Chain A
Amino acid sequence: MSTSELAPPRAPGQPAQPPAVELSGIVKRFGSTTAVDDVSLSIAPGELLTLVGPSGCGKSTLLRMVAGLMEPDSGEIHLAGRPVFARSVSVPPEERSVGLVFQENTLFPHLNVRGNIAFGLKGQPKGRVATRVAEVLDLVELSSFGKRFPHELSGGERQRVALARALAPEPTVLLLDEPFANLDPNLRSQVRGQTVEILRRAGASVLFVTHDQLEAMSLGDRVAVMGSGRVKQVGSPKSVFHFPTSRFVASSLGEAYFLPVTLCGNGRIDCEAGHCAYDCQPTHDRMEIMVRPHDVTFQVDPEGRGKVVGVEFQGAHILYKVQLPSGRRLRCQLPHTTDVPLGTAVSVELAHGHDPVVLPAQPEPDELS
């Protein structure tokens, strides 16, 4: 996949703008651990980039360095073309023009909603401040909440105010650090939807850090997957999910099984769970094919070599755990209309519907941890 298909839509004829965020060669160590290891990334104006990875992978550290809350050990940071961290430059956070939204409730408890939003508009004429506050309140659909105090708001409303506060000074980039982590699951998807809408309407450039792969994929124009301090892969949610370049990225974005490839060539690929047409180019002796639960199906077949060893009812669909002759198990997602009891013999088939991903069998060493 090329990055051009992933870049956000731009009005044609506009002069090329520098990226909202440009990180090059960022390194940050804490004692002997390297939290961020030579990371380079850029975010186009108006683009929403999600940064996903397990806790401790360095994603929040990276965000804090962009905000200026921490200094990298080396590397450069440019915001809208302006160096904010480089060899002899270290711009303090208040001069960087970044908006921050954290997971905790970080509204100023002694100021009302209007006061909170106006906080970042210091030095502007009163009329302008009032107009801008009204504008962003309107944007987050809380126009009538201006006089309320933070403790009088619900969790979701507080996060929307926090978003409005961060957007009010029209920052170069908006940095969101797991902003929904503290919301309860039901509220979460609702607030998530509202947030995306708000960000789109505002046309903001956004770096969004999360450990939730669904959140990362559903929100981002592009997704960057981080692990052990490095960016492992960047691309559109679809491309990263379907075409991961490593087992780590594959597993980070969803359940994935890897089955040894038994035959590879002549436009065909075989494994224990069936075969499919694919012009496979083996790069190593042993290759493995990635199979996600929706990439595989089965038929009840008394002669079949697979056996149903687990059934998980999930509402819209059912996850069957199937044991293959080798003893490997994988899960198979089938419609809720199926009803296969435990112990049933089945024959498994691949059903990728797109080119499968074939990777060398040896896991990369740094991904074992």
Chain B
Amino acid sequence: MRPATNNLGRVLGLGRRTERTWTALVAVIALICLAPAVVIGWSLVNPTAEVWSHLWSTVLPGMLWSTAALLVLVFVGSAVLGGGLAWLVSGYDFPGRKTFSWMLVLPLAIPAYILGFVFMSVFGFTGPIQGTLRDLFGADVPVPEIRSIWGAALVLSLSLFPYVYLLGRAAIREQATAGYEVARSLGYSHFNAARRVVLPMARPSLVAGLTLVMLETLTDFATVIYFNVQTVSVGVYRVWKGMFDRQAASELASLVLLFALVVLALERAMRGRARYEQHSGSRRALPTKTLYGARAWGATAVCTGVLTLAFFAPVGQLLYWAATRGGFDSSYFSYLSNSVVLALMAAGVVAVAATGVANARRFSPTRPVRAMSQLTVVGYALPGPVIAIGVLLVLAALDRLLDSVGIQVPGLLITGSIAGVVYAYAVRFMALGVNGIDSSLQKVPMELTLSARSLGAKPLRVMRRVHLPMTRTGIAVALLLVGIDALKELPMVLLLRPFGFDTLPVWIWQLASQSRWEDAALGSVTIIAASLVPVALLTRSLRTTEPPDDLPASPAALTLEHVTI
């Protein structure tokens, strides 16, 4: 028999009433979070024949092809960039290695829809690069067309590869060291030890990073529209915003969901049966091989090149535009305030719900509660268009329901208010909140909760007087991360915003779509500055590895998990 102290949480049944209340709370939150996915899943398994035959005979084959092609290209691009750079900075020593090793996370701060338009402007037909080439070699010089799937894939890879880099680097550095040393002692060279031992050991983490990249790629339609790539997600947007065809939009969204499910299934398959335990005992870094001469400078040049392309040059360009553009558009503030209001609401909703879920896991640590609390975080794996259209359908049903019981809502819930946007954000970012607050609550010893209860405090009082003060930092960080993710979010707000309600990213995107790059610069700089905050937290806690195995991974869960108080 195991001593009871070791599995306190599991056996703790703190009174039946309490258990029922908290179970019900988690059930409601899980239901709300799951509803959008369920309604889209419903249209996936109940296709409407006429909608499909129409779609199939027109745009669908092209969309499916572009989506698949884009996914493959971004996969390869971010695997090469993320995996390669992770190996380079962990396995070799060269000038600037330490600096690069944290700087390579910086590209995460530039959303793809910003990086995308900067690339369009610089590499496009009217941009300086092509202009110079034409000046030098004449008007008919062959230049690769940036406005293509290749351009879109390049931009997405450059802005998303840090996910792969981060997870891969952590795995290589902290998990593979012992294996590497054994391999060397058995006669493998540095390179062969890497190929035969380090890479296989890092594979689950690399795959996890690539999965996040794929899901982000599926979410995006704003960026690829610049490049005239028609993915299924673009289709959802066009069908909904162009024709307000809810039926067709939900059918297309269900295809996006299908793509996401395939990606997740592939992750399972690629991860295989391997479950790599992380041994916390040895936290030694991998021994590096020092590079000399041309190779050393080559490595430095590669890192510099990637960073320039993915971060410094675009930021420089935007700053230049923002500084040189005459006049100031005062509508900037109204867009900014819209964004901030939305971000605060999303963060508030997530913080409250996630605090509830985390506390329920503490007060009622039963199997159903744990299972349902994992359902509350599925949003991180759902592409934005799926959540947005799902929310649309759920709220439409709610509107009808309220109407049928005779409650007249002034205006429609969907179009009349930003409730839909907040709902969608909450679903998408719930994982940040739940993972963050739960891991912070796990640092509060169970005995403390028990002591408080034996002193006569009911669960709500324990939560207010003990758990909240002790998890303050975790809640604050979760609020911050959700807020900033909401601040820079674009696809869902494009689909769901009420008429006339534009956020900063929407404004940027509209200006960029009209090639008004200079006008979009100020907003872009604002977004990047805000995004640097979580990136800074991330770099500070670079000794991250796996998220808690209990809850699914999300990029920012990594951050939360390891931000020290």
Contacts and interface: CB of A to CB of B under 8 A. Distances in A.
B17 A94 contact: no
Given A30-B11, A69-B450, A109 B2 contact: no
Interface residues of B, number: 31
Interface in A29-88: 30, 33, 35, 55-56, 58, 60-61, 64, 67-71
A10 B469 CA distance: 44
B445 A165 contact: no
B455 A169 contact: yes
A169 B455 CA distance: 7
A100 interface: yes
Given A94-B453, A102-B447, A109 B470 contact: yes
A35 B4 contact: yes
Given A93-B14, A98-B454, A30 B1 contact: yes
A99 B455 CA distance: 7
A349 B447 CA distance: 51
Q: Which among B14, B17, B454, B457 has the highest number of chain A CB atoms within 10 Å?
A: B454
Contact of B461 (A91, A102, A122): A122
A106 interface: yes
Given A64-B4, A122-B457, A108 B452 contact: yes
Contacts of B455: 94, 99-100, 119-120, 165-166, 169
Given A33-B1, A61-B4, A106 B447 contact: yes
B4 A92 contact: no
Contacts of A91: 15
A123 B473 CA distance: 29
A90 interface: yes
| Contact-size category for A | 35 or more
Contacts of A171: 454
B15 A122 contact: no
A94 B447 CA distance: 14
Contact of A68 (B14, B451, B465): B14
Interface in B481-538: none
A212 interface: no
A67 B8 CA distance: 13
A162 B452 CA distance: 11
A128 interface: no
Looking at chain B's contact residues, the main secondary structure is: helix
Contacts, number: 106
B130 interface: no
Interface string B1-36: 111110010011111111000000000000000000
A85 to B, nearest CB: 10
Interface in A215-266: 229
B466 A70 contact: no
B21 to A, nearest CB: 11
Nearest to B455: A120
B367 to A, nearest CB: 13
B448 interface: yes
B456 interface: yes
Contacts of B458: 92, 94
Contacts of A92: 14-15, 17-18, 453, 458
A60 B447 contact: no
A284 interface: no
Given A56-B3, A104-B445, A67 B454 contact: yes
A120 B469 CA distance: 17
A96 interface: yes
A90 B18 CA distance: 11
Interface string B452-478: 111111100100011001100000000
Given A98-B454, A106-B450, A171-B454, 20 more contacts: A35-B1, A60-B3, A64-B4, A68-B14, A69-B8, A69-B14, A70-B13, A91-B15, A92-B15, A92-B17, A92-B458, A93-B453, A96-B454, A100-B450, A102-B450, A104-B445, A106-B448, A108-B448, A166-B455, A175-B454
Smallest CB-CB A-B distances: 4 pairs: A92-B15, A120-B455, A100-B454, A110-B469
28 contacts: A30-B11, A33-B1, A56-B2, A56-B3, A58-B1, A60-B3, A64-B8, A68-B454, A69-B12, A69-B450, A69-B453, A90-B15, A92-B15, A92-B18, A93-B14, A94-B454, A94-B455, A94-B456, A94-B457, A100-B450, A100-B451, A106-B445, A108-B452, A110-B469, A110-B470, A119-B455, A122-B461, A166-B451
Interface of B: 1-5, 8, 11-18, 445, 447-448, 450-458, 461, 465-466, 469-470
Interface of A: 30, 33, 35, 55-56, 58, 60-61, 64, 67-71, 90-100, 102, 104, 106, 108-110, 119-120, 122, 162, 165-166, 169, 171, 175, 177, 229
